[in-house]
Amino acid sequence: MISLAELQQSIEQGTLTAEAAIGRSLEAIRARETSIGAFVCHDDNARAQRAGPLRGIAVGIKDIIDTADFPTEMGSQIYRGHRPRADAPVVMALKQAGATIIGKTTTTAFAANDPTPTVNPHNGAHTPGGSSSGSAAAVAAGMIPLALGTQTGGSVIRPASFCGVAAIKPSYRLLPTVGVKCFSWTLDTVGLFGAGVRGIARGLSAMTNRGELVVPASATAPRIGVVTQAFAGAPEAVGAQALQKAARAAEQAGAAVRELAMPEIVAEAWRIHPVVQEFEAHQSLAWEYRENYDAMPPLLRGRLDESKGGTPAEYDAAMDIAGRARQALATIFDEVDVLLTLSAPGAAPKGLSSTGDPRYNRLWTLMGVPCVNVPALVAEGGLPVGVTVIARYGADAQALAAASFVEDALKRG
């Protein structure tokens, strides 16, 4: 993989030009893209910018995010050839920080369930996960140091886990979703993929002008609460093993680690996540579903068919539960600095017919709290399995610092 942190250091020290750094990505894309299929389109003539902390950093943008210089097709034939007038604010933030937008990465149609042809770079017989399939795969395949994705259920953290890369789903609305195809406005969150936690922290810091997001050279050992999310069912053996391994490594590195039970209202929030998601999706995708029914991707269309009867009263009740769960969760962060939990039930499933199960991710998206995936182990078939580090709403710097601590501990262990 291409490390953003190392690239940035080489460019700043003058041992690598920004142009040569972009050249590395172009070369890697030429070498690997045909077998991975992570891009919808890319710019073979991409050039580096002259200034900015992200100069020389080639970035892939999930194809539900508006770009003025590339088509934005939402993974669906309904948007074939669609070219937005403007760049989305997150794309402009990357450009203003000096980054080079190198292309658009594959997305399941409308960031839902219908898979793309992208394969997992660690094992071509397996899914890379979704919905941000191309962004996770492009980073994992060493083609680019940074990519943007989005998460409504588990569309950033799950593919990151399956592809063995670091990723952050920041606090709700730390990054604007303006110009990003909406599925659910209460849930949709823009996230970043990179080779390591320090790299995504630098990327997010540069995009937001928030210096505090850069992980400090030496992180203090966090107080960690391990959450098994029993309400979401049991994980596969390898998922449980990843969580245990990460918890043990963190403890050995000096962290205070203990298991934490979630209050009932939080489990209740996990249950009603789909109510919020589908009620809003029926509005967000009303034009596509009502006026382009036959062209709709089949899995998403089926989901919308099934959830057609959702009522405002059910939605209001679900939103009320979400609000109370957020308050309950906030008090838990008085006892621990971060939570540690599963990023997925296990390794990436075989085949490309499913992008995997978001059941360990969706609660945290609804809570709006920052989540960071850290690769924890490599399972049979060379398939990675990750864990998630979660901090209080708004404490993205703490989530990244603690995730970096866990990442370092796992490397040592």
Binding site residues, its own copies, CB under 8 A: 68, 78-79, 82, 85-87, 89, 92-93, 96, 173, 176-179, 182, 185-186, 208-210, 280, 283-284, 286-288, 290-291, 311-312, 316, 394
Least distance to its own copies from the beta carbon of 41, Å?
18
Q: Which residue, 209 or 353, is less far from its own copies as judged by CB?
A: 209
Q: How far is the CB of 78 from its own copies (least distance, A)?
A: 8
In whole angstroms, how close is the CB of 339 to its own copies at the nearest point? Answer: 23
**Pair 96, 52: CB distance under 8 Å:** yes
Closest approach of Cβ 85 to its own copies, in Å? 6
Least gap, CB of 280 to its own copies (angstroms)? 7
Nearest approach, Cβ of 286 to its own copies (angstroms)? 4
Residue 92 CB, nearest approach to its own copies (Å): 4
Segments in 209-355 forming alpha helices (H): 237-252, 264-284, 286-291, 298-306, 312-332
Q: How far is the CB of 352 from its own copies (least distance, A)?
A: 28
Distance CA 224, CA 258 (A): 6
Closer residue to its own copies in complex, CB, 85/412: 85
Q: In b/e form, how buried is each residue of 387-412, taking b as 16+ CB within 10 angstroms?
A: bbbbbbbebbbbbbbbbbbbbbbbee
| CB nearer to its own copies: pick between 278 and 280 | 280
What is the Cα–Cα distance from 317 to 275, expressed in whole angstroms? 9
d(CA 295, CA 297): 6
| Smaller CB separation from its own copies, 96 or 307 | 96
* Smallest gap from residue 173 Cβ to its own copies (A): 7
E strand spans, 170-238: 189-194, 223-226
Q: Residue 244 or residue 284: which is nearer to its own copies going by CB?
A: 284
176/382 with CB nearer its own copies: 176
- Phi/psi for 341 (5° steps) reads -145, 180
Strand 146-151 relative to strand 100-105: parallel, antiparallel, unpaired?
unpaired
Q: Using CA atoms, how far apart are residues 127 and 146, in angstroms rounded to an integer?
A: 20
Query: Are 365 and 154 in contact, with CB atoms under 8 Å apart?
Result: yes
8 A C-beta contact, residue 287 and residue 306: no
Shortest Cβ 89–its own copies spacing (Å): 4
By beta-carbon proximity to its own copies, the closer residue of 334 and 380 is 334
- Alpha-carbon distance 151 to 103, whole Å? 20
Nearer to its own copies, 79 or 193 (CB): 79
Q: Which lies closer to its own copies via its Cβ, residue 185 or residue 293?
A: 185
CB atoms within 10 A of CB 85: 7
Burial class (CB in 10 A: 0-12, 13-18, 19+), 173: exposed
d(C-alpha 39, C-alpha 74), whole Å: 13
Task: Determine phi and psi for 271, rounding to 5 degrees.
Answer: -65, -40
Residue 386, strand partner residues: 375
Q: Closer to its own copies at the Cβ: 94 or 339?
A: 94
